[in-house]
């Protein structure tokens, strides 16, 4: 099992490039099941979750060709409308194939995602939406089985709460449904907008992506297309914090600042200097003193839950008390205990964490519990005195492409064991 060994205290300097967004690439790959024509996707990050989705497409009968960060999917013969447990047990996003398979094949059998370390991610919203489009759905033996032998019908879908994967799943199902589908209380994340852009290139008729109401006019079939995935805003935010927490001077390139306005505003409130010297590049430097700021995670365009753990690591170095409130997932403070092992002063009360600083961090042996928690431990290790060893870094490999190599190129003393 791989580990990271980090010797902290080195400021990060230079340029570090952001990869394509994993959370955009996953639904884009699932959308390839909607057409018999080839779909070419550029800027696909070669991370673990992506490899799992590619295997899932091949299991369904698609041909997947990988050339660096370009992936071509040819799904002219989808023979197996099933996502088996053995393939998808490590990836929550497996539910994204449910809508495309029902729309294309008239049926789907997808393993129910298992427990998630950071909290419940119920699939019932996906199921309810498909039923409103006319599918018959049942759950048995650990699988969701959906059937629509005569095709799906457009409908008004109202989500009880905002769901990103639910919005994406229903959007993919609706593009081949007869008539108009209107999704109310839709997610507004940039990844949803990116999926809509790909589907539009494939011939779908979609309006309102990026707003809370999405309208889709169903079409008889979709065609092939070529599409480049957007920059990973979570990796961007992680690197911005890496520059700030090490008091370096870092240029984060190939990014999309508009996707992170709420996060960047919080960094500036904390005393971090963030500028945009050229389009697509953010420069980050730490001011003379870090100030504590309060943060509440929200759906986009609010502060992203996927950057909460990383921001907590930064707040251990800030003067004062920061109150971090997590509203999206009920169990997303597991990194706090590991940060405390490194010297952080954090008190948890329900969905709030109170971080008192500044505290001197010292290297320690810690364990990663999930994808973003592992990133927070890397950041803390970069700022700590002495050696930090992070176990179970397979979590970070799910969503970051060779993060240790990228950080090493800008001065981090980090290596994989």
Which residues are the active-site residues? Answer: 116
What is d(CA 283, CA 238) in angstroms, rounded to the nearest whole number?
13
What is d(CA 283, CA 298) in angstroms, rounded to the nearest whole number?
25
The neighbour count for residue 310, using CB atoms within 10 Å, is: 27
CA-based end-to-end distance of the chain: 8
Question: What 8-state DSSP symbol labels residue 140?
Answer: E
What is d(CA 296, CA 94) in angstroms, rounded to the nearest whole number?
28
Query: Helix crossing, 124-132 with 98-105: angle to 10°?
Result: 30
Burial 331-358 (b: 16+ CB within 10 A, else e): ebbebbebbbbbbbebeeeebebbbbbe
Decide if 206 contacts 343 (C-beta within 8 A): no
Decide if 291 contacts 320 (C-beta within 8 A): yes
Using CA atoms, how far residue 387 sits from 154, 318, 357, 394, in Å, is 57, 22, 21, 20
Question: What 8-state DSSP symbol labels residue 229?
Answer: P
Question: What 8-state DSSP symbol labels residue 263?
Answer: H
The neighbour count for residue 279, using CB atoms within 10 Å, is: 8
- Phi, psi (degrees; rounded to nearest 5) at 402: 50, 55
Q: Is 151 exposed, middle or buried (0-12, 13-18, 19+ CB in 10 A)?
A: middle
Neighbouring-strand partners of residue 214: 183
């Amino acid at each position: 099992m791989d580990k990271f060994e980090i010797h902290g205290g080195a400021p990060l300097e230079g340029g570090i490039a952001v990869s394509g967004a994993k959370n955009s690439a996953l639904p884009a790959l699932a959308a390839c099941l909607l057409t018999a024509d080839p779909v070419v996707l550029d800027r696909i990050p070669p991370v673990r979750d992506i490899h799992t989705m590619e295997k899932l497409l091949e299991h369904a009968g698609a041909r997947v060709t990988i050339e660096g960060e370009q992936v071509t999917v040819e799904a002219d013969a989808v023979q197996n409308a099933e996502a088996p447990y053995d393939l998808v047990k490590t990836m929550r996003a497996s539910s994204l194939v449910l809508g495309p398979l029902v729309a294309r094949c008239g049926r789907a059998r997808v393993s129910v995602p298992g427990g998630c370390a950071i909290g419940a991610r119920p699939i019932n919203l996906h199921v309810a939406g498909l039923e409103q489009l006319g599918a018959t759905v049942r759950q048995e033996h650990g699988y969701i089985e959906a059937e629509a032998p005569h095709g799906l019908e457009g409908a008004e879908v109202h989500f009880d709460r905002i769901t990103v994967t639910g919005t994406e799943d229903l959007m993919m199902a609706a593009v081949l449904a007869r008539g108009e589908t209107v999704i109310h209380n839709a997610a507004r994340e940039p990844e949803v907008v990116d999926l809509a852009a790909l589907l539009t290139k494939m011939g779908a008729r979609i309006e309102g992506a990026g707003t809370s109401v999405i309208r889709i006019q169903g079409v008889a079939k979709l065609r092939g297309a070529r599409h480049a995935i957007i920059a990973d805003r979570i990796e961007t935010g992680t690197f911005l914090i890496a520059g700030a927490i090490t008091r370096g001077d870092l240029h984060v390139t190939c990014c999309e600042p508009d996707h992170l306005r709420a996060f960047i505003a919080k960094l500036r409130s904390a005393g971090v200097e963030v500028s945009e010297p050229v389009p697509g590049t953010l420069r980050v430097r730490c001011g003379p003193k870090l100030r504590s700021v309060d943060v509440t995670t929200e759906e986009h365009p609010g502060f992203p839950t996927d950057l909460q753990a990383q921001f907590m690591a930064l707040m251990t170095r800030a003067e004062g008390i920061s109150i971090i409130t997590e509203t999206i997932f009920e169990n997303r403070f597991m990194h706090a205990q590991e940060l405390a092992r490194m010297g952080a002063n954090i008190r948890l009360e329900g969905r709030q964490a109170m971080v008192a600083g500044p505290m001197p961090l010292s290297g320690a042996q810690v364990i990663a519990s999930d994808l973003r928690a592992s990133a927070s431990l890397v950041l803390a290790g970069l700022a700590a005195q002495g050696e930090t060893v992070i176990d179970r870094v397979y979590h970070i490999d799910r969503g970051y492409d060779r993060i240790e190599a990228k950080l090493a190129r800008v001065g981090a003393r980090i290596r994989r064991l």
